[in-house]
Amino acid sequence: MGFEGILNQVFQPYFYYSVMFLVVSFVGVKILTKYCSFICQRTKSLLYLVPLALPLIVMLVFLPLTGIQASYRQIKTLGTVTIGGAFSSFPFFGPFLPPPPTQTAYILAVSTSTVLSVTGIICIIGLVTGALFALSMVLADDWVARKVLHVILLSPNEYQWLQAKMNESAKKLGIAPPKIGVVEDLRPNAFTIGYGRNATIVFSIGLFNILSKEELVAVASHELAHIKNNDFFFKTLSDALTTVSFFNPLSYIASSTAQKEREMFADERAIELLEKPTALGDALAKICRAIQTLPKESVLVNFSSNLLVASSVLHRVGILSTHPRLDTRLRNISALKPSRRHWSHRDTWLVFFLSLLLIASAVAVSLAMVDLQVNFTANFAASHSLKALPADLLTGYDTGSGNVVWFTGAVTVPFNGTQNMHELINQPYLGASSRNIYVETSDDGAYYSLGDRVVVLFVVTPQNSTYAHMQSPIAAPGTPWIG
Amino acid sequence: MTEAKKPGFSQYNMEGKALEAFLGPLEANVMESIWGSRKTPVTVREIYEALKKTKNLAYTTVMSTMDRLFEKNLLDRKIEKGRGGLYYVYWPAFEKQSFQKSAVREVLSSLIDNFGEVVANCLVDGTCLNEDEREALREQLNKNITKKK
């Protein structure tokens, strides 16, 4: 695949718009959350999901759109057209091209030319994998986590004081008391698996070794807050949406940013349950200190743990971390004010309207961009005093590349019957290409023999646009047009 | 397995059967389970799951028992990296026969230290020898006990 082929793939609608929308909306949300200090952690975490959701929306919009467009741009036979002032009749698909496909075949061709491109297939893989991931997390996460992480459920007479405290806190939060488990891991860690009534809060043995009772209760409250906040579903959704855009590095950053906000939100809720709110900060500081002295776990263990558990006190370091930096977290805990703690109706409306705005913008821009090529063609033709044909009048199907071509104009070229078609199209018209116009000729360009002349159909398209693959020569200004 | 170490136990239970004479019931069970295990070293979870089949036990009880056995020098342990993170793996510090021999010697040594000739007489009385042979043995034992003292 040459440079042009790579550009073609990059600018396939599925791929291009899914990447662009994620980038633009992520930057937008980042700026919004940075400068609007009144937005609470919960709102922030939800807003960060919007950039992740946009690629999914783009894919869901483009998939039917390609089919709808194909139906709209029906194959038509030109019938009678004016050529140089005289009327002449010729079929749309001339003698040099195969007969036109049926309408169904055409719709299929239009759809597959984008869906089954390399980048289109990558997007579909992301979509399917994301859906399967979400499904497996909801259906089998609990079972897999227990099997992989070897969680042992505590009996009612083990750590009775902790179980009593947790039951009390669960009651305060209005959730069912979770099951409690332990893992043999010597690294201090706590995490939650499952959701709702089936949730299990798991402590590592390492955690019992380093924390005081008060600190253990604080960590337990943090995990209870995750259950109350439905973070299992949040993480599953966030990870599934990241999987949809697995080819976009920014999706991982957006996902980790969303989950960091969620951690802060759980911290906020946890300290409401604590008699001594500083215990959570003390516990986090102890955990961070202890981790530094222990050998690091393998990447595979780290990855699988992060994948399986809804929340883990242990975390990856850096930009892809699902947890905020300790100092940020401690600052957040100590700076909590009652007014910031609660989710209000204002937040609900804010998330609703901002999400709606971003999604509507994405859909609108998607639709607008699809027609940009057509408008560009019309503008170009107008600015060059050329007369372009209606965009939906002439449609072609390039059997060589499998691409669908919407021809927007036609020009007649003298032809003596012996010339090489490739040279014939290239020589007189290639010089007309300019920086902002993508011009390429090929042997299978669309042309129709009219005895001593051929009619060449062409497309004017922005350079490197998503429709750059539509190949056709461009006519020089002043060349006679069909219209 | 190092023989230089001495197993640490401070009591002898007259009513205990087999290993339970030297160790607590759960300690004895854990040791038997580890000695009988096909896989060494073992984790607390593996022993817990093995014992759970016959007894209603808590994981933390097994964990603290194994920790105690480590402190008594009956088990050795090290930290290992694995699928579940970092965890202790344990293995017996002594073979079963070696432990039994060492334990019996400890008890006998204590008895001899405290009761000397009485122990020799008891041991001789418990044999199936004739009177002359017993007398010879008693003399020999008393000589050795005196020498030891």
| DSSP code per residue over A106-154 | HHHHHHHHHHTSHHHHHHHHHHHHHHHHHHHHHHHHHHHHHHHHT-EEP
What Cα–Cα distance (Å) separates residue A73 from each residue in A112, A194, A225, A389, A408? 16, 50, 54, 13, 12
The pLDDT score that the predictor gives to residue A342 is 56
**A154/B85 CB distance under 8 A:** no
Question: In this structure, which long-range contacts are made by residues A288-296, counting pairs with CB atoms below 8 Å and at least 24 apart in sequence?
Answer: A288/A326, A290/A187, A290/A188, A290/A206, A290/A210, A291/A187, A291/A188, A294/A186, A294/A187, A294/A206, A294/B86, A295/B79, A295/B81, A295/B86
- CA A479 to CA B107: how far, in whole Å? 116
Closest CA to A362 of A20, A21, A12: A21
**B79/A185 CB distance under 8 A:** no
Token match 């930057």: residue? A27
Interface-testing mutation among A155, A161, A184, with chain B (most B C-beta atoms within 10 A): A184
Cross-chain CB nearest to B43 (options A155, A184, A301)? A184
Structure tokens at A33: 């959350």
Q: Which residue of B has its CA nearest to A301?
A: B83
What Cα–Cα distance (Å) separates residue A181 from each residue in A89, A386, B90? 81, 76, 22
The answer to whether A28 and A354 are in contact (CB under 8 A) is no
3-class secondary-structure state, position B115: helix
What Cα–Cα distance (Å) separates residue A60 from each residue in A17, A55, A123, A308, A363? 12, 9, 11, 28, 10
3-class secondary-structure state, position A181: strand
The residues with which B90 forms a beta bridge, in sequence order, are B42, B77
Token match 């609990």: residue? A142
With 70 as the cut, is the pLDDT of residue A477 above it? no
**Cβ neighbours of A152 in B, within 8 Å:** 45, 48, 59
- CA A179 to CA A151: how far, in whole Å? 11
With 60 as the cut, is the pLDDT of residue A114 above it? yes
Interface-testing mutation among A146, A150, A298, with chain B (most B C-beta atoms within 10 A): A150
**Cβ neighbours of B83 in A, within 8 Å:** 148, 150, 301, 304
**B85/A155 CB distance under 8 A:** no
Which DSSP symbol is given to A389?
P
Query: Using 50, 70 and 90 to split pLDDT, how confident is the model at B103?
Result: confident
**Residue range A127-171, pLDDT digits in tens:** 889 888 888 888 877 777 777 778 888 888 889 999 999 999 999
The pLDDT score that the predictor gives to residue B121 is 73
Structure tokens at B94: 């002594």
Regarding predicted confidence, which is higher, B4 or B24? B24
**Cβ neighbours of B60 in A, within 8 Å:** 154, 158-159, 182
Query: Using 50, 70 and 90 to split pLDDT, how confident is the model at A431?
Result: very low
Calculate how close chain B gets to A294, using CA atoms only, in Å.
9
Structure tokens at B70: 């480590």
Calculate how close chain B gets to A61, using CA atoms only, in Å.
42
pTM, two decimal places: 0.68
Residue A204 sits at the chain B interface (C-beta within 8 Å):
yes
Chain centroid to Cα B4, Å, comes to 15
**Of chain A residues 101-160, which have a CB less than 8 A from chain B?**
148-150, 152, 154-155, 157-159
Q: Which residue of B has its CA nearest to A305?
A: B84
Structure tokens at A240: 């599934």
- The count of C-alpha atoms lying within 13 angstroms of the C-alpha of A104, restricted to the half-sphere facing its C-beta, is 0
Chain centroid to Cα A11, Å, comes to 15
| Span A173-188, average pLDDT | 90
**Residue range A371-413, pLDDT digits in tens:** 554 455 455 445 444 443 433 334 444 434 444 444 444 555 5
3-class secondary-structure state, position A158: coil
Calculate how close chain A gets to B16, using CA atoms only, in Å.
27
The pLDDT score that the predictor gives to residue B66 is 94
The pLDDT score that the predictor gives to residue A83 is 32
The answer to whether A479 and A473 are in contact (CB under 8 A) is no
Span of A60-74, A163-177, A288-302, B131-145 with lowest mean pLDDT = A60-74
Query: Using 50, 70 and 90 to split pLDDT, how confident is the model at A326?
Result: low
Structure tokens at A239: 């990870």
Pairing state of beta strands A447-449 and A453-458?
Answer: antiparallel
Calculate how close chain A gets to B35, using CA atoms only, in Å.
21
Query: Using 50, 70 and 90 to split pLDDT, how confident is the model at A354?
Result: confident
| CA angle A204–A208–A212, rounded 5-degree value | 140
**Of chain A residues 31-70, which have a CB less than 8 A from chain B?**
none
Pairing state of beta strands A190-193 and A447-449?
Answer: unpaired
The residues with which B75 forms a beta bridge, in sequence order, are B92
Which DSSP symbol is given to B88?
E
The H-assigned helical ranges of A384-450 are 421-429
> Taking an 8 Å Cβ-Cβ cutoff, which residues of chain B contact chain A?
43-45, 48, 58-61, 63, 79, 81, 83-88
Neighbours of A5 (CB within 10 A): 12
ipTM surpassing 0.90: no
Neighbours of A460 (CB within 10 A): 24
